Amino acid sequence: MSRAKSIRGEESNPENKTKLNKDTFKKSLRIFKYIKPYLWYFVLAMLFLVAGSLIFMALMGLPGEMANVATGNPTVIKIGDRSFNHNLSVRDFGWVFLISLIIQGLLSYFRTYYFAIVSEKGMADLRKDLYEKIITQPVAFFEEKRVGELTSRITADVEQLQSVFSVTLGEFIRQLVILISGIIIIFVWMPKLSMIMLLTFPAIVISAMIFGRYIRKLSKQRQDELASTNTIVEETFQSFTIVKSFANEWYETIRYGKAVDKIVKISMSFAKIRGVFFTFIITVLFGGIFFILWQGAIMLERGEIEAGDLFSFIMYTGILGGAIASFGTLYTQIVSAIGATERIQEILDTPSELPVQKSEHIADLKLKGDVRYQDITFAYPTRMDLVVLKGINIDIKAGQKIALVGQSGGGKSTIIQLLMKFYNPDSGNILVDGVDIDEYNLTQFRKNIGIVPQEVILFGGTIRENIAYGKPNATEEEITKAARQSNSWEFISSFPDGMETIVGDRGIKLSGGQRQRIAIARAILKDPKILILDEATSSLDAESEKLVQEALDKLMQNRTSIIIAHRLSTIRDVDSIYVLENGKIIEKGSHAELIANEHGTYAALARLQFEYS
């Protein structure tokens, strides 16, 4: 089969980064599809936000107008030939304040609640889709991506987006409403002073656009470096026994420290640019405000405006100044979120290996277990210059047991990985029951394959959960039966918590033999037609090996079994042994047949292990 279906390194090359342009912006807007199911909540939140902002702006003008009424000079607003006034007394203003504040409080409550619904549920949907997309990627994807990087995408980047939807976007709209309504109010109320204030606005907007480009670049660099530090943390925490056995705590501390220092360096550059930006805004903005106040005081002195009007104008000017100043911070947060959206969208756009289907919705695929490799050639996507398998031909009848032996790097594990469709061969075909495995539904097909690996990795929950992983809907009776058949029940029942015993991260609380037997129980519960044993007893002591081997013998009954073994004593009774060397099958036969060939590779290996003369 062609390699076209597999993922290549160039498709996820970290150098192929997108830049902020029209296409990137459109791509980022696609994230709003996660808001669409909650659109009405979003619309209501926006309406409450706009209404609340307008009420707030109206409230800010009331103190000045109340002062004018108290001094007997209520404001008369003229628009064309028409004049507008009110008949409120000072006492009436108290009720207006009270009613306005109650309405404002209710609007703020529902706005906050509805925005929370949109951001929490929308980003929860995004997290689910992102996790589903990552977990359904082929093995090659995980070879090209580091765990810390993927973790950062699903945590830090999504949190950044959630912050935008829950706070930043609403605040941006709020400040925009305040700015527009405030400009209209002061322009209608006092056009002379407002014109002076408006002269500062274009310069600030243009500077925000210029600085925003640099801020986005540094923000993305900081996020990428943060992902790198997460990778170091996860790798060292997951492999802490290796770190401690080599006494490399100091080395990992220095390595992590250097990564953190890179973040600090980028953050300081980020802070410098933001600092320059804010300095510019403060200088221009507040310089303009003080100039406006000075002009207003002159107009008050001349009797051209009332004291209350000047007070209201000062309040509006301060509010508008704060709104304009906040655009710098809000813009950088939104632009930073666009960078996070790019990285998330890149993963969401990556084709999945298979669709996620619930087990109860997947029809059972009944295989007999005939397996045939036909002239298989293969090289790993990340090492195309090194051909691992060269014309492999293997024929296994249903129920037979075969073994793969040979030096490390000979291609034994690769043969297994191709059968499980972790990769696609460069040429040749793999047939199961006479059908090319590409013709099968991948989920159905893999449910017919069970594996007991050399290094068993258990999940950090209970023993029951780890055994039931082979069949999530298994009954308690089925789980217990699998534990007994795998020779696990004796040690499980000796634990105070029995099946509820917590195995710890990666099964660290259990011994190697116990972990192997739990893996066998998991495979028994799955009841596969094709069984793969990848050096399942190579790292065990004699007593544990005996117990595990007994469990494996039960497991292999009536199943097509493929065994990778270094200990030749475990494969004496298999139907056929294939000896691999440099990606080729150099010998094939039963144990007795291969031993009889004194000059063969298998016989030489046997002499080393069994001390044949």
Which pLDDT tens digit goes with each residue over 395-422? Answer: 999 888 899 988 878 888 889 889 988 8
Residues with Cβ < 8 Å from 192, sequence gap 6 or more? 295, 299
Average pLDDT on 188-207 reads 64
First and final C-alpha spacing in the chain = 45
Is residue 528 within 8 A of residue 522, CB to CB? The reply is no
Check the CA dihedral 314-316-318-324 and report its sign: negative
Do 313 and 65 meet the contact criterion of CB atoms below 8 Å apart? no
Query: What pLDDT sits at residue 611?
Result: 61
Give per-residue pLDDT as tens, 510-524. 887 788 888 888 888
Whether pLDDT at 3 is above 50: no
Residue 86 has pLDDT above 50, yes or no: yes
Residues contacting residue 390 through CB under 8 Å, at least 6 positions apart: 377, 582, 583, 584
Taking each helix axis from N to C terminus, what angle separates 476-485 and 542-555, rounded to the nearest 10 degrees? 120
Q: Looking at residues 226-239, what average pLDDT do you find?
A: 76
Tell me how crowded residue 314 is: count the other CB atoms within 10 A of its CB: 17
Task: Please determine, for residue 478, whether its predicted confidence score (pLDDT) is greater than 80.
Answer: yes
User: Which residue do the tokens 């009841």 mark?
Assistant: 527
Mean per-residue pLDDT over the chain, rounded: 77
Tens digits of residue pLDDT in 236-286: 876 776 777 667 777 788 888 888 888 888 778 777 877 777 776 667 666
CA distances for 170 relative to 2, 162, 457, angstroms = 50, 12, 45
pLDDT at position 7 over 50: no
Average pLDDT over residues 75-95: 61
- Cβ neighbours of residue 308 closer than 8 Å, sequence gap 6 or more: 63, 64, 65, 66, 67, 68, 69, 71, 73, 75
- Indicate the pLDDT class of residue 377, thresholds 50, 70 and 90: very high
Angle at 218 between CA 351 and CA 155, to 5 degrees: 45
Look at residue 361 in the predicted model and tell me its pLDDT. Answer: 55
Q: Write the DSSP symbol of residue 364.
A: P
Look at strands 387-396 and 530-534 and give their pairing: unpaired
Q: What percent of the chain has pLDDT over 70?
A: 78
Look at residue 6 and tell me whether its pLDDT is greater than 50: no
Position 547 pLDDT exceeds 70: yes
Q: What is the SS3 assignment for 534?
A: strand
For residues 327 and 208, is the Cβ–Cβ distance under 8 A?
A: yes
C-alpha span between 267 and 275 (Å, rounded) = 12
Residues paired with 31 in a beta bridge: none
pLDDT average, residue stretch 61-86: 61
* Class in CATH terms, 368-448+566-613: alpha beta
What percent of the chain is predicted at pLDDT more than 90? Answer: 4
More confident residue, 69 or 552: 552
Question: Given pLDDT bands bounded at 50, 70 and 90, which one contains residue 571?
Answer: confident
Q: No. of H helices and E strands in the chain?
A: 21, 12
Res. 613 pLDDT band, cuts 50 70 90: very low
pLDDT value for 363: 63
- Mean per-residue pLDDT, 450-475: 83
Regarding pTM above 0.85, the answer is no
In the numeric block, which tokens belong to residue 489? 């029940």
Confirm if 402 and 578 have CB atoms less than 8 A apart.
yes
Q: Choose the weakest-confidence range: 196-205, 358-367, 401-410.
A: 196-205
Characterise 78 by phi-psi region: left (phi > 0), alpha (psi -120 to 50), beta (else). beta
R_g of the chain, CA atoms, integer Å? 35
Non-local (6+) Cβ contacts of 514 within 8 A are 488, 491
pLDDT score recorded for residue 497: 85
Residue 9 confidence (pLDDT) above 50:
no
Do you know the residue count of the chain?
A: 613
Q: Which of 321, 268, 263, 271 lies closest to 292 in space, CA to CA?
A: 321
Residue-level pLDDT at 347: 83
Rounded to 5 degrees, φ, ψ at 358 are -70, 145
* CA atoms within 13 A of residue 578's CA, in its CB half-sphere: 22
* Distances from the Cα of 371 to the Cα of 74, 187, 364, 529, angstroms: 95, 83, 19, 11
Per domain, the residue ranges of the chain are 25-348, 368-448+566-613
CA count, 13 A, side-chain hemisphere, 581: 8
DSSP letter, residue 165:
I
Question: Among the ranges 170-184, 253-267, 312-326, 385-399, which has the highest mean pLDDT value?
Answer: 385-399
Query: Residue 152: what pLDDT?
Result: 79
- Give CA angle at 252 (250, 256), nearest 5°: 120
Architecture of domain 25-348: Up-down Bundle (1.20)
pLDDT at position 25 is 63
> 257: how many CB neighbours lie within 10 A of its CB?
12
Name, in order, each residue with C-beta under 8 angstroms of 36's C-beta and a sequence gap of 6 or more: none
Q: How many whole angstroms separate alpha carbon 63 and alpha carbon 59?
A: 8
| Measured distance CA(149)–CA(137) in Å, rounded | 15
Which pLDDT does position 4 carry in this prediction?
36
Pairing between strand 401-406 and 387-396?
unpaired
Q: Which residues does 339 contact at the CB level (< 8 Å), separation at least 6? A: 216, 219, 220, 223
Residues 6+ apart with CB under 8 A from 170: 45, 46, 49, 111, 115
CA 491 to CA 514: how far, in whole Å? 8
Residue 84 reports pLDDT greater than 60: no
DSSP three-state, residue 394: strand
Sign of CA dihedral 20, 22, 23, 24: positive
The answer to whether the Cα torsion of 214, 215, 219, 222 is positive or negative is positive
Are the C-beta atoms of residues 427 and 397 closer than 8 Å to each other?
no
Euclidean distance between CA atoms 166 and 117, whole angstroms = 9
pLDDT of 325:
67
- List Cβ neighbours of 447 (8 Å cut-off, separation of 6 or more): 362, 364, 365, 526, 528
Residue with tokens 């150098």: 15
